[in-house]
Amino acid sequence: MPETGLSDEGLRDQIRAVKRDEEAISYERRLLHGRIDVVRSEILARLAGGRPEAASDEDALNALVKRLSDALTHQGPPPIEAELARFGHADDPAGDEGSLADELPDLATLSDAELAALVRTLEIRERRTSARRQELHRELDRLRTDHVARLQQKYAADAGE
């Protein structure tokens, strides 16, 4: 008797559904990482003494690309805890998580406290998303293990005939 209680076709359908869910949650996680990197680059710029005003939109874009490049070359998770402590805002946010469909606000218009709250909110959401992704990976592993066991039984029975 299979562990999942599904037919072979049902098991394959379930594997496909979990894979689709995992792909969606992985995409959400990548978006969150990108947003954290963008906000982190603003925090780092402020910690470095602020940003000089760009003379044009092109200068502003080049400055953002440079800041993001610097942020993205960091290996491992962003060291937001230490940066927020240096920034003077180590408390957890009390605000709403919002939607990933929402645009990031103009970071230059946010106060330091609002910027800190935004990065905290994004971090909390990323941790929840990562935990859900891990759950989906465990479910996918379980389903695949069941599928492989079924195939092994089927081919062993076919070879015995």
Does the pLDDT value for residue 97 go beyond 70?
A: no
Q: What is the pLDDT of residue 148?
A: 93
Mean residue pLDDT across the chain: 78
**Which residue, chain included where needed, has tokens 């695949």?**
144
The secondary structure of the chain, three-state, reads: CCCCCCCHHHHHHHHHHHHHHHHHHHHHHHHHHHHHHHHHHHHHHHHCCCCCCCCCHHHHHHHHHHHHHHHHCCCCCCCHHHHHHHHCCCCCCCCCCCCCCCCCCCHHHCCHHHHHHHHHHHHHHHHHHHHHHHHHHHHHHHHHHHHHHHHHHHHHHHHHC
Distance CA 72, CA 8 (A): 44
Residue 2 covered by a domain: no
Residue 140 covered by a domain: yes
Task: Return phi, psi of residue 80, to 5°.
Answer: -65, -35
- Residue 73: which domain range? 8-160
The domain tally of the chain equals: 1
- Report residue 68's pLDDT band, with 50, 70 and 90 as the boundaries: low
Residue 138 covered by a domain: yes
Residue 1 covered by a domain: no
The tens digit of pLDDT for each residue in 103-153 reads: 788 888 888 888 888 988 999 999 999 999 999 999 999 999 999 999 898
Residue 101 covered by a domain: yes
Q: What is the pLDDT of residue 21?
A: 93
Residue 74 covered by a domain: yes
pTM: 0.66
The tens digit of pLDDT for each residue in 29-57 reads: 988 888 888 888 888 888 877 655 545 66
In this predicted model, which residue has the larger pLDDT, 39 or 75?
39
Residue 16 covered by a domain: yes
Residue 51 covered by a domain: yes
**Which residue, chain included where needed, has tokens 């080049």?**
62
Does the pLDDT value for residue 95 go beyond 50?
A: no
Does the pLDDT value for residue 94 go beyond 50?
A: no
Q: What is the pLDDT of residue 93?
A: 44
